[in-house]
Amino acid sequence: MNIELFEIWAKHGDTMLKALGEHVFLAVTAVFLGMLVAIPLGIWLVDRDRYAKYVLGGVGVIQTIPSLALFGLVLPFLGIGTRPALFVLMLYSILPILRNTYTGIKEVSPVYVEAGKGMGMSRFQLLGYVELPLALPVIMAGIRISIVYIIAWATLAAAIGAGGLGDLIFGGIAVYDYDLIMAGAVPAAILALVASWLLGALEKVVTPKGIRRS
Amino acid sequence: MVIFDRVSKQYEDGHEAVKEFSLEVKDGEFLVMIGPSGCGKTTTLKMVNRLIEPTSGTIYIGQKDITKEDPVKLRREIGYVIQDIGLFPNMAIEQNIDIVPRLLGWSKEKRKQRVDELLSLVEMDPEVYAKRYPSELSGGQQQRIGVLRALAVEPPLILMDEPFGALDPITRDNLQEEFKVLQKKLNKTIIFVTHDMDEALKLADRIVLMKDGEIVQVGSPDELVNSPADEFVSTFIGSSRMENYKRSETR
């Protein structure tokens, strides 16, 4: 098996590296864009319970659309290539981050909220001093879930010509080259593990010292 | 200092928590509000810093109608201590104490000096405690910090909502003693809510006994014990407590 992997590397190394680069770019950019949408939206929803149910429900529906179908759905509007792929992956990345931002802040104990308000914090200060720091580990967990998902789903982006490790997998399937499939699948799996580990470590770092579990 | 003028609070479910509450709290007075749960004492307290808005009536602090003030600014000028302590777990002790000074934009040096000053006030060494986190302190130490946090910008008025209620009896006793001394020294006006009659008798200059949103009796501990207004007051104080109090008076 080891020898096989080395042979695959020797044969497809250059393609793999290029595909890996594209893959990382797709996943990281998509999740980053997702954060830009999900975190402010989650914060905004905290004081608007009436909308929260619908927004979270709506974003949840997106999650149920099979990704290949969604790539197909945006095809007429955004065409093929990196742009539509990023758009679709970004949509998928929103839910875990949004849900964790919203519930993370909601679950901050009302004791701290009352203390903060009673001290004379404005809504914005309460968020910055108390709610966000205490919710940060939960938000980070959402980002971590998101990136692991997106790394897996980004392989399908190759179907609309966005490149990435999916290129190798699809190519392998087309010509029935098992090695080529492995050349795409193995790095994707490793990438997901590494990303999860990295973000797990980051989660520990951003957790405020006073609430870290030693 | 604080004037309640026919203040009422009716909640959305129709429950009338406070009915036509009128009272004048004097400068430097230690006022304790007491009564069975649901009597409206906490609601009354929280209307002073506008965490709860009255349905009718007016509250004045100094000469000012508080509904005309910005609630955020108002709260920074009033100390607030709660039963659950509520120290922010993500902040070190010094950051917890100087939260209001930070909100008010004090300089770093001034804040540090104030933190040291306050910690020394309760005989907690700043070298030892300033950088610690709330979870590393005992319940009694935490509530000392809770009190210091309320004192940080020297507000003339401090609201305390059962601040010692969650502590064990010995710690509670110590903190009550300490706090009484502190209050005399700093000459603050304090509105203090409790359901513990011993605590009220020990700390209060004046006690307000409430029931069903209304004042049953207002008076000094002596007056309440020696001439309870009605059956409810004497039952609430309890005969053994009355005996004990009178005995310690004559001694």
Closest chain A residue to B71, measured at CA = A120
pLDDT of B250 strictly over 70: no
pLDDT band at B5 (very low <50, low <70, confident <90, very high): very high
Could you give the C-alpha distances from B246 to B33, B220, B222, B243, B249, in angstroms and in order?
21, 14, 9, 5, 5
What is the DSSP secondary-structure string of A174-190? HHT-HHHHHHHHHHHHH
Mean pLDDT within B198-227: 91
For chain B, give the mean pLDDT: 90
CB contacts of A210 in chain B (<8 Å) are 88-92, 133-135
DSSP classification of residue A210: G
Percent above pLDDT 70 for chain B: 99
pLDDT at B245: 80
> Residue B34 in contact with residue B194, Cβ under 8 Å?
yes
Query: Does the complex come out with an ipTM higher than 0.90?
Result: no
Check CB contact under 8 Å for B84 and A117: no
> Residue A150 in contact with residue A92, Cβ under 8 Å?
yes
Check CB contact under 8 Å for B73 and A129: no
In the β-sheet with B206-211, what is the strand arrangement from edge to edge? B78-82, B157-161, B189-194, B30-34, B206-211, B214-219
- CA-to-CA distance for B151 and B100, rounded, in angstroms? 10
pLDDT at A8: 77
pLDDT at B63: 86
Closest to A117 (Cα-Cα) out of B54, B46, B98: B46
A vs B, Cβ pairs < 8 A, gives: 68
Q: Which domains does chain A have, with CATH numbers?
A: 2-108+134-208 (1.10.3720.10)
pLDDT at A147: 94
- CA-to-CA distance for A60 and A46, rounded, in angstroms? 17
Selected residue of B42, B45, B82, B88 to mutate for chain A interface (largest A Cβ count, 10 A): B88
List the single residue in B72, B74, B92 with the smallest CB-CB distance to A122: B72
User: Across-strand partners of B21?
Assistant: B7
pLDDT of A214 strictly over 60: no
- The minimum CA-CA distance between A121 and chain B, rounded to whole Å, is 6
Closest chain B residue to A136, measured at CA = B90
pLDDT of B236 strictly over 60: yes
Percent above pLDDT 90 for chain A: 51
Closest chain A residue to B100, measured at CA = A119
Q: What is the pTM of this model?
A: 0.85
Check CB contact under 8 Å for A115 and B80: yes
CB contacts of B88 in chain A (<8 Å) are 112, 115-116, 129-130, 210
- A125-133: long-range pairs with CB below 8 Å, 24+: A125/B103, A127/A43, A129/B88, A129/B91, A129/B99, A130/B88, A130/B90, A131/A46, A131/A105, A132/A43, A132/A105, A133/A208, A133/B90
Check CB contact under 8 Å for A121 and B133: no
pLDDT at A3: 59
H runs (alpha helix) in B67-138:
71-76, 93-97, 99-103, 108-121, 126-129
Mean pLDDT within B25-36: 93
> Does B70 touch chain A if contact means CB atoms closer than 8 Å?
no
> Does B103 touch chain A if contact means CB atoms closer than 8 Å?
yes
pLDDT of B223 strictly over 70: yes
> Does B51 touch chain A if contact means CB atoms closer than 8 Å?
yes
pLDDT band at B1 (very low <50, low <70, confident <90, very high): confident
Check CB contact under 8 Å for A209 and B133: yes
In the β-sheet with B64-65, what is the strand arrangement from edge to edge? B16-25, B2-10, B56-61, B64-65
pLDDT of B246 strictly over 90: no
pLDDT in tens, B123-168: 889 999 999 999 999 888 999 999 999 999 989 999 999 999 888 8
Closest chain A residue to B88, measured at CA = A112
> Does B105 touch chain A if contact means CB atoms closer than 8 Å?
no
pLDDT in tens, A75-109: 888 888 888 889 999 999 999 999 999 999 999 99
pLDDT band at A129 (very low <50, low <70, confident <90, very high): very high
Tokens encoding A184: 């795409």
DSSP classification of residue B195: S
pLDDT of B186 strictly over 70: yes
CA-CA-CA-CA torsion sign (B237, B243, B246, B248)? negative
> Does B176 touch chain A if contact means CB atoms closer than 8 Å?
no
pLDDT at A190: 92
Closest chain A residue to B47, measured at CA = A118
Closest chain B residue to A110, measured at CA = B86
User: Which B residues 126-165 touch A at CB under 8 Å?
Assistant: 133-135, 149, 159
pLDDT in tens, B82-91: 988 889 999 9
pLDDT band at B251 (very low <50, low <70, confident <90, very high): low
List the single residue in A121, A125, A208 with the smallest CB-CB distance to B90: A208
Closest chain A residue to B74, measured at CA = A120
pLDDT of A133 strictly over 90: yes
Percent above pLDDT 70 for chain A: 97
Tokens encoding B230: 């009605």
Mean pLDDT within B63-82: 92
pLDDT in tens, A15-72: 888 889 999 999 999 999 999 999 999 999 999 989 999 999 998 888 888 888 888 8
CA-CA-CA-CA torsion sign (A23, A24, A26, A27)? positive
- The minimum CA-CA distance between A204 and chain B, rounded to whole Å, is 14
For chain A, give the mean pLDDT: 89
